[in-house]
Structure 1
């Protein structure tokens, strides 16, 4: 994996082959952060990275200036690797070994950005519960954004607070925000454009 922007732009990170992960591709990651760049000033942001795996997205947020990143994963090897890598780059990442659902049920901090990259073979109900727990427990800042990465077989657009989605190859990013005034202009992303396919 490669850090694509920020203080550590261009640095490559090699994770152990035995980690049970499916890392977000560099192309998809770059497209995701292009969207976030139009919405957020990363300096000082508080970020929650769920199902963080190798920490791919956490390192990107840290490199771009996020003030505090919490990375949550149930796998001990992943958490160990994130802690080691974060220390090597001196990034403000706190790695927590926990079942994500239990973490969301008991955690009470508020974040500017929440990203979740569950296994694609999770059920529709498992995906929906992640979103429900975040909003029910008020973990997202009122001006914040939640992003869930999933396959085309998982449907998210019917959920409350769904805003838009973007398709990149076999992956989809679904974006969630608190409802805005209907008179406001949309974010300006053409979610149906075939140009979005990579």
Structure 2
């Protein structure tokens, strides 16, 4: 796993072979971040990384200068790996939480500039995730939410949807907090 750009550009972390998580590919990660830079300045932003898995997105957000990154992962081994990566970087901007994403979404009162969710593609609750984010008001005005998912999901009719990007088998749906103001 590699950090694409920013202050930790080029840093590599070896993912244990026993991991069940599939990290977002470097190709897909680099491309989606290229798209996202048109919408958001990560410097000084606050971010929430849901279903963090290997921590690849959290580390990328830290490298790009986010003030705070909250990384939520339920699996004990994956959480430990994320903590080890953060420790190796010596960066205090990331708060790794070992918790259930759905409990966090229901209890969270903080707003973020950016939220990224990469749930297991087989998770049956994927269609509800955008609604949970927006119903709880977790995004600041003009905040961005990105949901990584398989090809079987179409969010184009969601009121906050702004665009879809596909890189191989990796799909991203992008949402923005301000979308309903234009409706």
Query: What TM-score does the superposition give when structure 2 sets the normalisation length?
Result: 0.94
CA drift at 1:15? 1.6
Aligned to 1:189: none
Confirm or deny that 1:72 pairs with 2:78. Answer: no
Query: Which digits, 9 at most, give the CA deviation of each residue in 1:13-58, with x for residues without a partner?
Result: 1121222201100000000110122222221110000000010011
Partner of 2:106: 105
Paired with 2:60 and 2:142, the residues of 1 have a C-alpha distance of 21
Q: Secondary structure at the match of 1:7?
A: coil
Structure 1 position 119, deviation (Å): 0.6
Which residue of structure 2 lines up, in the alignment, with residue 167 of structure 1?
166
Structure 1 gaps of 5+ residues are 184-198
1:35 aligns with 2:35: yes
Distance 1:152 1:181 in 2: 29
Q: What stretches of structure 2 of length at least 5 have no aligned partner?
A: none
What is the CA RMSD across the aligned residues, in angstroms?
1.4
Does the 8 Å contact 2:40/2:144 carry over to 1? no
Once the two structures are TM-superposed, the CA of residue 156 in structure 1 deviates from its matched residue by 1.4
Answer yes or no: is the 8 Å Cα contact 2:3–2:12 preserved in 1: yes
What TM-score do the two structures reach when normalised by structure 1? 0.87
Segments of 4+ moved more than 4 angstroms = 180-183
1:87 counterpart = 2:64: no
CA drift of 1:122 comes to 1.6
Distance in structure 2 (CA, Å) of the matches to 1:36 and 1:3: 16
2:14 aligned partner: 14
Helix, strand or coil: the match of 2:129? Answer: helix
Distance in 2 between residues matched to 1:171 and 1:55, nearest whole Å: 17
**Correspondences of 1:37-186 after superposition (within 5 Å):** 37-91=37-91, 92-123=93-124, 126-177=125-176, 178-179=178-179, 182=182
- Shift of residue 180, structure 1, vs aligned partner: 6.4
Q: CA contact under 8 A between 2:159 and 2:180: conserved in structure 1?
A: no
The alignment of Structure 1 onto Structure 2 pairs a total of residues equal to 181
Match of 1:195 in 2: none
Looking at structure 2, the residues matched to 34 and 7 of structure 1 have their Cα atoms a distance apart, in angstroms, of: 16
